[in-house]
Amino acid sequence: MLLRLMRPHQWVKNGFVLVGLLFGHGWTNGRLVEHALVLTAAFCLVSSGVYVLNDVFDLNADRSHPKKRYRPLANGDISARDALVLASILGVVGLGVAWFVSGIAAGLVGAYALINVGYSAGLKHIAVLDVFIIASGFMLRILVGTSGIGISPSHWLLACGLMLTLFLGFSKRRAELAGAETADVAVQRRSLGAYSIRLLDWLIAITASGAAIGYACYTLDSDTIAMHGTSRLIWTLPFVLYGIFHYLYALYRKGAGTDPAKDLVSNPHLIVALAGWLGLTWWLIAAA
């Protein structure tokens, strides 16, 4: 039950910590690889603590939700007191693990924890700000895996990461709003009542376009070409576009989007797109 409460399937999101190794040519440095893996583990612990804390704050709402009422805390398998103890342990241990790598890394992981405490305590009910806070968590993961281990992050890559995570966040809100009964919107998530399908469609279109253009600009940037020794990273763009377009297809035609992490590990099209992108990117950089 404790493991279910920690939502280990969400740990796939912490793969963003490893982006710096690939795009910062850090995979050949054993120390950097070790530090990146340790920080990924730290984020798994702290992010699980955040999920547990969020479940405590959302206890009453989850009990009235058709799916979330089966979570361990909502259905009474675990008490709120025990959940708070677990969240505290996960947070403290995760921060300690990050501190083992560097003070910068610990500060970034701590910032993630504080921002998400604010999110759970009420900021998640403010439309638009709620999605920006979710996106900030992914940006902090990228920064932990770059600045936290001494790799300088690319500005274009950060811009692309921001737009991509905003895209996923607004897609999640659209899926939640489309799947919620009118009477249940205010109970499940108050910020949903401030959104509309039309508004979210615009925000999704803007951020999806921004993510694709940002990535294309990254691959063509002179600093990127100089760092990787190749101008062929643009060849990986079709995998990025296919992943975005198929995610949109799944969102609008299949009712997906409420759980991006689950979609990523269960949708074969997204798995192939990610594997193809990683494989081709690795080959182009390693062969340069």
Burial class, 87, CB count within 10 angstroms (exposed 0-12 / middle 13-18 / buried 19+)? buried
> Radius of gyration over alpha carbons of the chain, in Å?
19
User: How far apart, in whole angstroms, are the C-alpha atoms of residue 257 and residue 72?
Assistant: 23
Chain CA centroid to CA 162, Å = 10
With cut-offs at 50, 70 and 90, classify the pLDDT of residue 198: very high
User: How far apart, in whole angstroms, are the C-alpha atoms of residue 40 and residue 6?
Assistant: 15
Residue 189 is predicted with a pLDDT of 62
User: How far apart, in whole angstroms, are the C-alpha atoms of residue 148 and residue 68?
Assistant: 35
Cβ neighbours of residue 235 closer than 8 Å, sequence gap 6 or more: 280, 284
Place of tokens 């493991």: 3
pLDDT tens string 199-253:
999 999 999 999 999 999 999 999 999 988 999 999 999 999 999 999 999 999 9
CA distances from 122 to 58, 128, 129, 167, 215 (A): 10, 13, 11, 22, 33
Contact by Cβ (8 Å): 169, 131: yes
The model carries a pTM of: 0.86
Contact by Cβ (8 Å): 163, 214: yes
63 vs 147, higher pLDDT: 147
Residue 41 is predicted with a pLDDT of 96
Choose from 6-20, 78-92, 154-168 the range with maximum mean pLDDT. 154-168
Residue 70: count of CB within 10 angstroms of its CB = 12
Mean pLDDT of the chain: 88
Residue 154: count of CB within 10 angstroms of its CB = 21
pLDDT tens string 12-49:
889 999 988 888 888 888 999 999 999 999 999 999 99
DSSP string computed for 9-61: GGGGGGGGGGHHHHHTT-TT-HHHHHHHHHHHHHHHHHHHHHHHHHHHHTHHH
Task: List phi, psi (to 5°) of 14.
Answer: -75, 0
User: How far apart, in whole angstroms, are the C-alpha atoms of residue 177 and residue 195?
Assistant: 8
With cut-offs at 50, 70 and 90, classify the pLDDT of residue 188: low
Work out the average pLDDT over 72-97.
Answer: 84
Residue 135 is predicted with a pLDDT of 95
Residue 182 is predicted with a pLDDT of 47
CA distances from 11 to 197, 240, 261, 266 (A): 29, 21, 8, 14
- Is residue 4 predicted with pLDDT exceeding 80? no
Weakest-pLDDT range from 28-37, 112-121, 181-190: 181-190
With cut-offs at 50, 70 and 90, classify the pLDDT of residue 7: confident
DSSP string computed for 53-113: HHHHHTHHHHHTSTTGGGSTTTTTSS-HHHHHHHHHHHHHHHHHHHHHH-HHHHHHHHHHH
Residue 81 is predicted with a pLDDT of 83
Residue 73 is predicted with a pLDDT of 65
Which homologous superfamily is 1-151 in? UbiA prenyltransferase (1.10.357.140)
Weakest-pLDDT range from 10-14, 52-56, 115-119, 136-140: 52-56
Name the residue ranges covered by the structural domains of the chain.
Answer: 1-151
* Straight-line distance from the first to the last Cα atom of the chain, in angstroms, rounded to the nearest whole number: 48
Work out the average pLDDT over 151-171.
Answer: 92
Largest Cα span, the chain = 57
